[in-house]
Amino acid sequence: MVGHLLAAALVATSAVQPPNGWAEAASPPQEEEARHTIVGRLRRLVKGSDAAPAAPAAAAADTDQQQHQQQASSEQGQQRQQQPEQKQQKPSPLASPADARKREAAAAGLQEVLGISEDEAWAELAHDTTLATLNKKQMQDRLNKLSKLVRAPQDDMRRAAARLPRLLSLEPREAKARLRACAELLRIDDRRAAELVARQPGLLLHAPDTLKLRLKGLSALLQLSAVDARSLVAREPGLLAFRLAELRARMDFLIERLGLPPQRAHAAAVKAPALLTQLPRQTVEARLVSLASLLGLRSADAAAAAAARAPAVLLEPPGMVEAQIANLGRILEVKPSEAAALVASQPSLLLLPPQVMRSRVEALAVALKVDVENARMAAVRHPGLLTAPPDVLHRAAQEAGVPQ
């Protein structure tokens, strides 16, 4: 009886997604359909029909390449889009002595206030004439006011300005006006806007009209209403740090590489917007190679097919994937290779924190009226059971007439 129940739950829960951002969210009609599927399958299998399918075995790995270096931040990526790389450019011998002294003082100020190298300081001065007019005291004053404006610790803002020295080019009044414009664009209060800009200071570098156009383009790209687009940016302000063309290119690549229907790819990006802000093409390819190796799959293409079932797994660095496989093995008391095979068959397990996996095993034992050891065995045979929230299994068991 328990075996039939497990098979029923496995099939039914394939449409049920874990909460709190662990996988793509199902719409209310999809959730209702999934619930009826669970109940119907349980009713049939409680009567003794259908055999439980075995978990598929993973193929042996034939690749072991290391992960490429992850993109440092979306702000830096945007900066590279807008500005060509500059070499160190010290004052020209033809510059007046006064101008040369100003630029040297500005370079020294950038190094001391922001903690950047001499070459980095001169590179910034090469394409930002405003910075070249500021001395150390003025730079420090602007950094202090910027930190106060966004209600962030000064050390945090110093690190942000070290990545984007152009922040110091903003007059304090202009920075304040742009923060206010950001609040109006997203229809949030100033405090909330300050929190978002503290997370993504580069937003202050863009004129309000630019951010408005980007928000409108994001809405069209992901097929969202204006309200939903604003809500998404409030969760992931880095989306406005990219040009629309770059976001579209990343979305198109995910659709093509993972073989996702556009509508599902859009839903995945809305659920996990970091798929667009943290995954340039080279990072996606490197993650797929690494995922194939860790899960014992034959190729990056096989890993792409697995990731298509839970695209957010691409956000997990290789070290985290390896740790999650080890966690699953310890919780279910199986070898790492067996745990990797389970993840290959149910990739969304990589998105469950260890404490959630443990609680799911315990909840499974309660729902099936078995001890924890038998619940572990059930999860090994049918790893999809761990992706179902406890209340889903409990309600389905009750509605299907499973003895309680």
Check residue 81 and give its pLDDT: 45
* Domain ranges, ordered by start, for the chain: 1-59+281-404, 74-169, 175-190+201-279
Interval 125-177: pLDDT, tens: 998 989 999 999 999 999 999 999 999 999 999 999 999 999 999 999 999 99
The rounded distance, in Å, linking the Cα atoms of 343 and 351 is: 10
At position 384, the amino acid (one-letter code) is: G
* Cβ-contact 292, 62 below 8 angstroms: no
Q: Which two tokens stand for residue 369?
A: 């009226």
**At 247, which amino acid appears?**
L
First to last CA, the chain: 13
Question: What SS3 state is found at 18?
Answer: coil
pLDDT at site 95: 60
DSSP string, 231-246: HHHHH-GGGGGS-HHH
Under-50 pLDDT residues of the chain: 3, 7, 9-29, 40-42, 44-88, 94
> What are the tens digits of pLDDT across the range 244-272?
999 999 999 999 999 999 999 999 999 99
In whole angstroms, give the CA distance from residue 397 to residue 227.
Answer: 38
C-beta separation of 315 from 291 below 8 A: no
Q: Which residues contact 302 (CB under 8 A, 6 or more apart)?
A: 59, 292
Query: In this structure, what DSSP letter does residue 239 have?
Result: G
Angle value at C-alpha 210, between 233 and 190, nearest 5 degrees = 50
